[in-house]
A = this chain, B = another copy of it.
Amino acid sequence: MTTDLLRQMNIDIETARQKASFSAKDMSTVIYGHEMVLDIANKLRDLLNNEPLAAKAGTEFLDHLGQEKELSDVEVQALSFVSDLSSPLTLHFAAFIAVIEAQGTEEQAAKWVDAANKLAIMGCYAQTELGHGSNVQGLRTTATYDRNTDEFLIHSPDLTAAKWWIGGLGLAATHCVCQAQLIIDGKNFGPHIFIVPVRSTKDRKPIKGVTVGEIGPKAYGGFNTVDNGFAMFDQVRIPRDNMLMRFAKVTNTGEYTKPVHNKLSYGSMVKLRVGMIAEAGMKLGRAATIATRYTTVRRQFHGDAPNKDGLEKQVISYSSVQHRLMPLISLAYAMVFAGQTIALDFQEMNRKLMNQDASMLPDIHLATCALKVWCTRRSTDGQEECRKAMGGHGYSIFSGIGQIFATAVPSNTYEGDNYVLAQQVGRGLLKHLGTIAKGGKVNNGSCSYMNYLASADATSPVPLDNAMAKAILDPQVQEHIFGLRAARLVADLGQQLKSGRAWSDVNMECWHIAFAHAEYTLLTQFHKKIQSLSADDKIVEPVRRLANLFALTQICHFNTAPFLTTGAIRVADMGAIQSVYRELIAGVAQDAVAYTDAFHFSDNELNSALGAYDGRAYERLWEAVQANPLNTDQGRKDIDECLLKILHEGENKKIAAKL
């Protein structure tokens, strides 16, 4: 039943591709960093499409697949572009094994990691408790050293100490790495990490003294492929050697040696946050791809100036749709670029940490906190905005965006609640403010904008009066404006605290500072990405346009107020900047399909009837709906029988017959 209107949908999306001002393939290489990574990612996509297990179980077994096929490190890295991997195995690899490798001695790693890699044991990372999440120091599970048997006793004093939310613990895990207060001779040495068995590998029954189970469904049907669990411990005995002792140690006489640097164990936490940055970008990219394609093929209203061909206007041609989707495309790119850079920085930092050198930690910690906060919030808000921009059909499960948001949105509250992390950004920058106040200079690149406060630049708004349109597109002007705003917000915070406001009263100031710091970082990384391309590459201009849109989106759309209240931009200049912003959006909209095609998602990954590559949204939606079991005679049998009995008998039967 393919009619002209239906055929038009495929024509519309192909036309958009043909009209694009650049090659989506070239842009893919920019996004993925190297052609090689893109190639591997695409091979993985094929593998995923053809893997019966994956087809049946979704992405659940992708990690495992990685193991079985013995992928190289680079290939595994490319995996991160292919899909979000949520399964009991995700944290087995990303947390259980990673923590043992990072915090165990080499002997401990040799003992446990091989067994874990072969899945002879299944692990999880048991930190959060029912009563303690953000306050890790306040965890109540205890690990008490028993000198007589050279063992630790793992114990949960009450319900609030129950381990909770632990991914993989609900059904799968046989072991956990468990954060517990180390207690020796009645003295508490704070949280340390212990390997604790929870289920027998012989019969999978709970280990004696362990109460373990699944915590039930999550909001929005999200993360339903992960078995989040709980566990309580009743004096469970483990050998002393089950404490991870790379940094801190306990001897068989109960002597405690503390780590050289008390933050050496932070590496694992930072690592998880680093991964979240590019991931947030790719997830927003998926949502933006779906919404861009669907609004390209959906037509609605003839408008004031009807098309010559008699067709209604493409929904993507409406300025409201462009103003909602185009900025989000620029955000997705910015997150991916920043995520790539910080992952490299992290690798370097980690090498140093392994040698007990924590010098890079404070700055990376500050940057990842700010970026984790910003990227998870903007990405998940943006995903839902994409869904809304699709109108009514966006609410169908078959739009595919619902599942992205449902599983991504807890990233706002896990791996450090965003509002808690924002305070750490505030604290970190206050230290730099102190340096400036003492006449010093901030040498850390990502915070160097703080030096504005020591210069004449800090006293007045950026002068944009002359040739405004050109000035606001100058990368240096943009970085100046973003840096000035961030620096002045920090200076104002310092002032507020000086005038007597309590630290607990300035959470929101820290929130705005975290955003300002993240946006400065994202903008400068975007500019560095452009500098890394050869200047005569045809792809440079389209990337630059997106960087400009990213910059002006922050100023005109998301976060106008702090630019104005800090005087980084004058109210009088806003009209002209908004006019440039509108031009940028209209320009990006012309290439929206190419910009999103460049993420190179397969239809399988997008899992969307409305966002497939061929644009045949209505036909695919119709097909998806026909597969509903409720639409078969058998599927309706019980319902129809029930309704016949309660609605259509007796008096009602007579009434209906007369109509």
Interface residues of A in 116-134 (CB under 8 A from B): 118-122, 128, 130-134
- The oligomer's copy count stands at 2
* Given known contacts A639-B171, A652-B120, A160 and B618 CB-to-CB distance under 8 angstroms: yes
A301 to B222, CA, bound (A): 29
A247 to chain B minimum Cβ distance, whole angstroms, is: 23
B647 touching A122 by the CB < 8 A rule? yes
- Given known A111-B659, A565-B571, A567-B571, contact A219–B158 (CB-CB < 8 A): no
Among B165, B564, B625, point to the contact of A561 (Cβ < 8 A).
Answer: B564
Inside 8 A of A302's CB, which chain B residues have their CB? 138
Q: Is A448 an interface residue (CB 8 A)?
A: no
- Among the stretches A200-208, A252-260, A540-548, the one at the interface with B is A200-208
The CA-CA distance from A653 to B119 in the complex, in Å, is 10
**A410 at the binding interface (Cβ < 8 Å):** yes
| Nearest Cβ on chain B to A216's Cβ, whole angstroms | 5
Cα separation A283 to B268 with both chains bound (whole Å): 40
* Residues in chain B near residue A619, CB distance under 8 A: 159
Cα–Cα distance between A392 and B659 once the two chains are bound (Å): 55
Q: Nearest residue in B to A394 (C-beta to C-beta)?
A: B413
A172 to B646 CA separation, bound complex (whole angstroms): 12
Contact of A217 with B by CB under 8 A: yes
Give A325 Cβ to nearest chain B Cβ, in Å.
12
Q: Which of A638-659 contact B (CB under 8 A)?
A: 639-640, 643-644, 647-648, 651-653, 655-657, 659
A262 at the interface (CB under 8 A from B): no
Q: How far, in Å, is A326 (CB) from chain B's closest CB?
A: 12
Q: Mark A600-638, 1 if CB is under 8 A from B, else 0.
A: 000000000000000000110110111010110000100
Residues of B contacting A631 with CB < 8 Å?
213-214
Which of B301, B394, B503 contacts A134 (CB under 8 A)? Answer: B301
A561 neighbours in B (Cβ, 8 Å): 560-561, 564
A1 contacts B by Cβ under 8 Å: yes
Contact of A410 among B392, B410, B412, B511 (CB under 8 A): B392
Considering the complex, give the chain B residue whose CB is closest to the CB of A658.
B115
Give the contact stretch, choosing among A35-43, A362-370, A398-406.
A398-406
Task: List residues of chain B with CB within 8 A of the CB of A659.
Answer: 111-112, 115, 120-121
| CB of A218, distance to nearest CB on chain B (Å) | 5
CA A502 – CA B319 in complex, angstroms? 10
State the 5 A-B residue pairs at the shortest beta-carbon distance, nearest first.
A219-B402, A320-B507, A560-B561, A120-B652, A120-B655
